[in-house]
Amino acid sequence: MSHLDTMLERIQPTCADSRAAALSRLDQLTKPRGSLGRLEELAVELAAITAQPLPRVDPPAVVVFAADHGVAAEGVSAYPQEVSAQMVANFAAGGAAINVLARQIGAHLEVVDVGVATSCKGIDGVVIDRVRDGTGNIAVEDAMSDEEVQAALAVGMRAVERARRRGCRSLILGEMGIANTSSSSALLAAWTGLRPQQVVGRGTGIDDQRLAHKCHVIERALARADVDADPLRVMAQLGGLEITAMTGACLAAAAARLPVVMDGFIATVAALAATRLCPTVKDYLIAGHRSDEAGHGHALAALDVEPLLSLGLRLGEGSGAALAFPLLHSACAVLAEMATFADAGVADEPS
Ligand SMILES: Cc1cc2ncn([C@H]3O[C@H](COP(=O)(O)O)[C@@H](O)[C@H]3O)c2cc1C
Ligand SMILES: O=C(O)c1cccnc1
């Protein structure tokens, strides 16, 4: 049995008893029923995910998976490929946006080189768990072999295991990889049947001319691929190493009953891939935000989830998920710390 099959077998439905206990307690707390809106839904979801009537999400772990994309050679990004490795060094030095946001929420941050074109070996503090030197250019060849997809999934699973051993109770998945909005668009188009024009966005900030070119590149990739193949084969043809690692991490998190806060477009497509391998994973996912990337709304709709925030972000790295995390913290605190009507001697029926 493969590593993946073992993981898929371990994924169980979320806990109905803890969900019911959290729902019942919320209705006894000193507030009009349902008045904390989405925060109440979040508390209930977290109880069901963790199988704890009083869930805890602290401390969170942030894992940033980094890799390169052969399709960068088509000129689909506003930035050159070298930026992926340079940003890995920046993560390691603590200077990127996600470093700041992770510090604010008390998260341990780990950066994993899954396949940056030029190895990040030697950069202090980076986990080296490489599958290959970047992917193939999806416009002309498969991104990876089937074996490499399995290997990249396992990279994500190992990262979750490390986070668990450190005592983390929730997971924020981030990515760094120049041109990864192209791979994500191709995957989303393959799985939803949407046209490239609907799912391709400006990524790092490309102009209209480059956007039209990017759409054409994705059309070439889709024309070459068998989009009806099984999800792993589609990932091999059109995906990315860091995207696949995030998929593996979603599966491992669900198996371990860890809530996953999804970040932007790329992270959401990776989570969508996980649900195509195991639909139950969906119940372990919390949509942190809606990014400005054109395809993100479609990816969230494909998962049938509503994001917590919409801040016009278009960064990735796990930044939007880290910004949403305090809401999870608040949901848990309200459930655990608010007085009940009985405790506080407050009349619990409207007159
Ligand atoms: C300095 C810098 C930091 C980033 N951090 C995240 N991204 C984001 O931009 C990339 C995707 O956009 P595209 O497909 O257009 O290349 C990914 O690396 C993503 O994480 C960055 C991009 C840059 C340039
Ligand atoms: O939504 C995202 O995650 C995103 C958008 C643009 C560039 N990088 C990431």
pLDDT at 166: 98
Question: What pLDDT sits at residue 1?
Answer: 72
Shortest-distance ligand to the CA of residue 295: 2
**317 a catalytic residue:** yes
Q: Is the C-beta atom of 265 inside 6 A of ligand 2? A: yes
Please work out whether the CB of residue 181 comes within 6 Å of at least one atom of ligand 2.
yes
Task: Please report the pLDDT score of residue 3 as a whole number.
Answer: 86
Cα 13 to Cα 179, 280, 318, distances in angstroms:
35, 6, 26
Residue identified by tokens 């942030």 is: 62
Q: Which residues of the chain have pLDDT under 50?
A: none
Q: Using CA positions, which residue lies closest to atom 7 of ligand 2?
A: 203
| pLDDT value at residue 119 | 86
Residues 6+ apart with CB under 8 A from 190: 222, 225, 227, 234, 238
ipTM of the complex: 0.99
**Structural domains present in the chain:** 3-55+335-344 (1.10.1610.10), 60-328 (3.40.50.10210)
pLDDT computed for residue 349 by the predictor: 81
Distance between CA 175 and CA 293 in Å, rounded? 15
Selection from 263, 265, 264, 278 nearest residue 232 by Cα: 278
Ligand (nearest to CA of 71): 1
First to last CA, the chain: 61
pTM: 0.98
* Ligand 2 pocket: which of 291, 292, 296 to mutate (most atoms within 8 A of CB): 291
Of the residues 9, 147, 317, 337, which is catalytic? 317
Contact 194, 285 (CB under 8 A): no
Residue from 84, 138, 178, 188 to probe ligand 1 pocket by mutation (most atoms less than 8 Å from CB)? 178
